[in-house]
Structure 1
């Protein structure tokens, strides 16, 4: 359908008048997909502007990490719905940016509330990488039930206790979340923990998964059982090519096919089917392990 760029600042968000026209052009019951970047991006800064990078239809081909989220989500197609690139200043020390992410969550919530006021028939989906996951989850606290349909969190830089609190909000209880994690992100999880203190010593980042929250699904893309489960759904992704990568949750070929299905109103049961397939493959893997449990997944 199309793409518009929105920039959030401490004063709020601005879209130079494109949002109203874009919302009016959407069909009844259409979708809006809001894409949220993570650390080190900032709108208007050359080489770091997300609207010319992953949130662009035509990102800089000279950067190996610059793949177009809008194009891979098929937002350029008529059936793709409206895409919104949500840019915010994520430059500075990690601790300062992590604190700023909460404020950006409030601004994101205001944007979503405005969209819902103008077009309550639309389904709003969020996809966020790294500290963008903190922004997305923080937004849930300021929203009503039904304001967000689906969230896809990619290598999320947030703690499980805060995610649980967000999911306990009215908007969180009515949303479905896919948490995409990998052991490839372990180094970055450690850096996050060192510079952004956990609320409690026993708290862990989202890469540890959350098994006890309704509406929450974990997908560990470095595990063979997860790849087998995706194959059951007709989605093929390759095994990790290295031990360290913060961007594999959107660079790994095949994953965007899953994300498109998560956001597609024609596949409302995709996360239930994924959970079922994961449970079957995990059980099968456990049955194959030696009794001492040293066989890797």
Structure 2
């Protein structure tokens, strides 16, 4: 099944590089078995821009840029192999270029467009699960959409080092649609610098608010800190191995590190087997503090000869 590419343009959903009606195309695909997985990008991407179009990069089955910095999300999430129950991959693009504060405003507007698409999908595919996965500021689209979609329209949301405030996220989870959705909050101390900059540039909804990179507490949410050894051990025990981090600072490690996109594939396609309760069961009771990775002392790989003799 090819990837359906949709962009938010002037408050409306438009097919990428096609004059066809979005609604008509979605209705034509109503009989495809399997889940619907909506994918969206974060800061700096811009549809139709030759260098930064997400449909040429991470949201493509065959990215024009190769290497670890540009893995194919659809491919790693189980699409393009020809299996009968792959489901529907929906790549959602929006203009994330320009200053951060202006980008966030466009993210909220794109979230309302996304809500229209989700409601249409829910109407056409009422019995099929609809999931969302987004990186950085792309998570704002899902949070905004929760205020405008029907209850039960979206099942699981994966936030990959999301750029959003805790209070806004909790308000979205308290909406009728949010009550019936599950949030898996992927965090890493590798992203601390970007969380810090976000909190300095974007005014918080409430005084002292922090980004969801510091974790979030809700009945229908769980935080996975993917640079925490105990968390990685727990995922490995669930047969979901993820490689250990190699960098102190990285904004893209939540989808470039080996094993993570396969983890998200399992979380979105097997929510009954991998419940939030199963994820919580083996997690540490606390999150490591901000900057703990940046200023950590390097771990020695081997003992010095004198230490070995001692």
Q: Same fold (TM over 0.5)?
A: yes
Indicate conservation of the 8 Å contact 1:73/1:80, yes or no. no
Instruction: Please identify the structure whose Cα radius of gyration is greater.
Output: 2
List gaps (5 residues or longer) in structure 1: 287-293
How big is the shift at 1:272?
A: 2.2
List gaps (5 residues or longer) in structure 2: 289-295, 298-310
CA distance in 1, matches of 2:132, 2:287: 32
Change over 3 Å in CA distance of 1:284–1:56 after alignment to 2:
closer
Change over 3 Å in CA distance of 1:233–1:22 after alignment to 2:
farther
Indicate conservation of the 8 Å contact 1:22/1:82, yes or no. no
TM-score after normalising by structure 1: 0.89
How big is the shift at 1:20?
A: 2.9
Which of 225, 231, 243 matches 1:226? 231
CA distance in 1, matches of 2:270, 2:198: 35
How big is the shift at 1:256?
A: 1.7
How big is the shift at 1:192?
A: 0.8
Match of 2:11 in 1: 11
Q: How large is the Cα RMSD of the aligned pairs? A: 2.2
- Number of aligned residue pairs: give it: 282
Match of 2:171 in 1: 165
CA distance in 2, matches of 1:194, 1:167: 24
Indicate conservation of the 8 Å contact 1:42/1:88, yes or no. yes
Task: Out of 153-162 and 98-107, give the one that drifted further.
Answer: 98-107
Which of 149, 154, 158 matches 1:148? 154
Q: Cα deviation per residue 1:77-129 (whole Å; 9 max; x = unaligned)?
A: 32321100000000010000011111111000000001111221221000000
How big is the shift at 1:137?
A: 1.0
Indicate conservation of the 8 Å contact 2:221/2:276, yes or no. no
CA distance in 1, matches of 2:214, 2:30: 41
**SS of equivalent to 1:131:** helix
How big is the shift at 1:24?
A: 3.0
Change over 3 Å in CA distance of 1:151–1:283 after alignment to 2:
closer
Pick the structure with more helix per residue.
1
